[in-house]
Amino acid sequence: MALLEVQNVTVRVAQRSLVRDVDLNIAAGELVCVIGPNGAGKSTLLRAICGESALNCGQVLFKGAPIQRLSPRARASQIAVLPQHNPLSFAFTGLELVALSRNPHATGLARDQEICMDAMAALDVTHLAGRLYPTLSGGEQQRLQLARVMAQIWCAEEAGDRLLLLDEPATSLDIAHQYEMMKAVKAFARRGVAVIMTVHDLALASGYSDRILALKEGRCMAYGDGETVLTAANLSELYGYGVTVVTHPITGKPLVLANE
């Protein structure tokens, strides 16, 4: 049974459709990557799913019920969202920032700190626990922010199956931390979390996703596993740029190369 069902969702702003007639089902334990060019509607789709953008048509069901019926506390304990931009100038330490996510829960200070440190370890940021957030690099801040939203829905015993929405979480990360982040997110999904994330790097989508949703002008152009979606024909249509797709010699996954 799908944990999240997006049914015929349309979002319009000033008579312009940013997302049109999108359907999406995702089960707990799955990682779905959303790809597409700039302005394709990726961020709008995530905002529509979590209730930040009003729907002009369709509905979003979480555990079989409309997502807007969840109380604020129930939503915060089961659904975590990481937007593209997370401005913060207050001098929190790394641990204090991550600990903000535990407010929806009543698990106690000791358990909350344990969860925060576990989430930070998963993103390799435990050494930043005592550092002041404004003094950190963009990549370090991004990894702390991801640890924060993971800590928010860390335990299945608190909320059961959960949903994590990530909007371009690889921004500001070097190549090593991009891949480590994807490993951590996929491992987190396997613990009973449905994860939907937008990415621009097709290698990340190919290497780690269970399924890929390709958006073009707000519509679903393709949806399925990497071999189905990441074809030369699909990607050339999606981005308006010629590519060649070969098989990765180690992973066997599709590898996208730009044509000269």
Q: Is the pTM of this model over 0.85?
A: yes
Percentage of the chain lying above the pLDDT 90 cut: 88
pLDDT in the model for residue 158 = 64
For residue 17, the tally of other CB atoms under 10 A from its CB is: 17
Q: Where are the domains of the chain?
A: 4-258
DSSP conformation class of 132: B
3-state class (DSSP) for residue 101: helix
3-state class (DSSP) for residue 110: helix
For residue 232, the tally of other CB atoms under 10 A from its CB is: 16
pLDDT in the model for residue 82 = 97
pLDDT in the model for residue 40 = 96
pLDDT in the model for residue 116 = 97
Q: Which CATH code fits 4-258?
A: 3.40.50.300
pLDDT in the model for residue 172 = 87
pLDDT in the model for residue 174 = 95
Tell me the C-alpha distance between 164 and 65, whole Å: 17
pLDDT in the model for residue 216 = 97
pLDDT in the model for residue 235 = 97
The stretches in the chain having pLDDT less than 70 are 158-159
pLDDT in the model for residue 159 = 64
Each residue of 72-99: b (16+ CB within 10 Å) or e?
eeebbbbbbbbbeeeeeeeebebbebbb
pLDDT in the model for residue 66 = 94
DSSP conformation class of 247: E
Give the H/E segment covering residue 186: helix 175-189
